[in-house]
Structure formats: structure tokens, C-alpha cells
């Protein structure tokens, strides 16, 4: 089904664009990602894969020109460069050069944040003094170092790139069990024992009191007689 869709609509399978490149002055040799195209400015480089690419222009008597450009599907991106005259011979003698190699090779090289090409390469007419060299390659950690360029000398730079590592830390959550005390109420079925009779004396009968009083009264009558 997917193949049929692509065949019916070829634009869905296209992942390429174009780059129109011009320079002032014209006639500069064009490199795309450090690969010579055989074209000179002004020109249009066709069928360039979508994504970011680095353009390098070289023209005798002028400094190299570099620029990154993003290519979109079925679209044309534009690069317009103004080239700067190269220093005189006297200045070239007071400058130096840098040779950059890397393991693995074909890594992007930046000097003071400016793209210069891909390893291995040699950069000429570099101003003497301290410069920061940055080497980048997809799948590897960035490599950078500050170097010193000496007049009339070449500074060699060799970058050993380290593969990027993937963090595989697994987070484990342990559930803490909480003890619950359950109280069960039960109704007692035991019978309450019947209490024993108490020793409290029963109150005196009124009849007995009358008998005693009558006897005392009869005794007093006998004595008087």
C-alpha cells in the first residue's frame, strides 16, 4: 500500500532540494561538505539531500568563505557571499597554518566558531596567536582545544573522538507495605452468674413487737395486784 502511494505521488519520496550560490566577485570554486562540486559561482547545486550542509568557496587572491545552509524538500536555498581579499605576501609570512586530523576522520572542523571543512585538512594563513579548534561528528562527543599558531610554522592538531554514551539507568520503585491492625468486636455469650444471698438481716416483724409489748403490760398488772 505504501509503495503504491509513493509511486502515485513521487513527491512523497523526494527528500532533496537545491542550493543557489553566488559570490562577489564571481568565479569561486564551490565545495559542499568539503566535497568539490566542480562548479564555480554563480551556480545552482541540485539534488542536495535535505538537512544542514556546509558551503566552502575558494578563489585565488581571496580568503576562503564558509557558510552553513539548510536544505528543505523540494525547495531552493540561497547562499550569497562577499569574498574578502587575501592578505599580502608579507602578512602571510607573519601568519601560520594548522593541520587538523581526527579519528574517525570526516569530522567537521571549526576554528573560532567558523566552519573550515572536514578532516583531514590543512588551513593556511591563520593569524598568529591563540585559537580554539572544535571538531564535531555525529555519534561522537565534541572535541575542542586551544592551540597557538606561530608565524611561519604549522601547528598539528590530532583529535581522538569519543563515542557518545547512552544513559541506561533504570529507576526502580519499591512499594513499602503498611501493616494494618484490625480489631474485631465479638458479643459474649457467657451467662452472668447469679449472686449468692447476702448476710443482711431481715427487718423485724411487727407482730413479734406487739407480742412483746403485750407481755410486758400483763406482767405489770400482776405486780400491782
**CATH match of 87-166 with 1.10.1240.10:** no
d(CA 37, CA 46): 11
Confidence (pLDDT) at 141: 93
Residue 95 and residue 123 in contact, taking contact as beta carbons nearer than 8 Å: no
d(CA 126, CA 97): 5
Q: Are strands 76-82 and 16-24 parallel, antiparallel or unpaired?
A: parallel
Which has the minimum average pLDDT: 1-10, 42-51, 59-68? 1-10
Confidence (pLDDT) at 208: 60
Cross-strand bridge partners of residue 201: none
Which has the minimum average pLDDT: 23-27, 109-113, 164-168, 193-197? 193-197
Is pLDDT above 80 for 180? no
The residue count of the chain comes to 225
Place of cell 594563513: 125
Cross-strand bridge partners of residue 157: 100
Is pLDDT above 70 for 223? no
Confidence (pLDDT) at 171: 55
d(CA 149, CA 198): 121
Tens digit of each residue's pLDDT (9 = 90 or more) over 24-37 = 999 999 999 888 88
Mean pLDDT of 42-61: 92
Starting at the earlier edge strand, list the strands of the sheet with 154-160: 121-126, 96-103, 154-160
Compare 111 and 95 and report the one with higher pLDDT.
111
Q: Long-range contacts: 30-38, Cβ < 8 Å, 24+?
A: 30/55, 30/56, 30/57, 31/55, 31/56, 31/57, 31/58, 31/117, 32/56, 33/118, 34/117, 34/118, 34/121
Cross-strand bridge partners of residue 79: 21
d(CA 117, CA 30): 12
Mean pLDDT of 164-175: 62
**At CA 14, angle to CA 10 and CA 20, rounded to 5?**
130
Mean pLDDT of 169-189: 52
**In the chain, where the domains are located:** 1-86, 87-166
Residue 155 and residue 149 in contact, taking contact as beta carbons nearer than 8 Å: yes
Give yes or no for a cis peptide into 180 (omega within 30° of 0). no
Tens digit of each residue's pLDDT (9 = 90 or more) over 183-216 = 545 555 555 555 555 555 555 555 566 666 666 6
* CATH number attached to the domain at 1-86: 2.60.40.10
Compare 108 and 198 and report the one with higher pLDDT.
108
Confidence (pLDDT) at 11: 47
**At CA 28, angle to CA 24 and CA 34, rounded to 5?**
125
Confidence (pLDDT) at 13: 55
Confidence (pLDDT) at 35: 87
Which has the minimum average pLDDT: 3-7, 81-85, 115-119, 208-212? 3-7
The residues, ordered by sequence, that sit 6+ positions from 123 with a Cβ below 8 Å of its Cβ are 97, 98, 99, 100, 109, 111, 116
Is pLDDT above 50 for 40? yes
Confidence (pLDDT) at 191: 54
Q: What is the mean pLDDT of the chain?
A: 78
Amino acid at each position: 500500500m505504501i509503495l503504491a502511494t509513493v509511486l502515485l505521488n513521487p513527491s512523497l519520496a523526494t527528500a532533496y532540494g537545491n542550493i543557489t550560490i553566488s559570490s562577489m566577485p564571481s568565479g569561486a570554486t564551490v565545495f559542499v561538505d568539503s566535497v568539490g562540486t566542480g562548479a564555480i559561482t554563480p551556480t545552482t547545486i541540485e539534488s542536495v539531500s535535505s538537512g544542514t550542509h556546509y558551503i566552502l568557496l575558494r578563489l585565488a587572491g581571496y580568503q576562503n568563505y564558509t557558510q552553513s545552509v539548510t536544505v528543505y524538500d523540494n525547495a531552493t536555498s540561497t547562499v550569497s557571499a562577499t569574498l574578502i581579499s587575501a592578505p599580502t605576501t608579507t602578512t602571510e609570512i607573519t601568519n601560520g597554518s594548522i593541520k587538523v586530523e581526527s579519528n574517525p576522520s570526516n569530522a567537521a572542523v571549526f576554528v573560532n566558531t567558523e566552519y573550515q571543512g572536514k578532516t583531514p585538512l590543512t588551513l593556511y594563513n591563520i593569524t598568529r596567536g591563540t585559537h580554539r579548534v572544535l571538531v564535531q561528528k555525529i555519534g561522537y562527543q565534541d572535541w575542542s582545544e586551544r592551540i597557538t599558531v606561530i608565524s611561519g610554522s604549522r601547528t598539528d592538531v590530532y583529535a581522538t573522538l569519543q563515542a557518545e554514551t547512552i544513559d541506561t539507568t533504570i529507576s526502580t520503585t519499591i512499594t513499602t507495605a503498611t501493616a494494618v491492625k484490625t480489631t474485631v468486636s465479638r458479643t459474649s455469650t457467657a451467662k452472668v452468674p447469679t449472686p449468692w444471698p447476702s448476710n443482711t438481716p431481715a427487718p423485724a416483724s411487727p407482730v413479734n413487737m406487739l407480742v412483746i409489748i403485750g407481755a410486758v403490760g400483763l406482767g405489770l398488772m400482776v405486780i400491782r395486784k
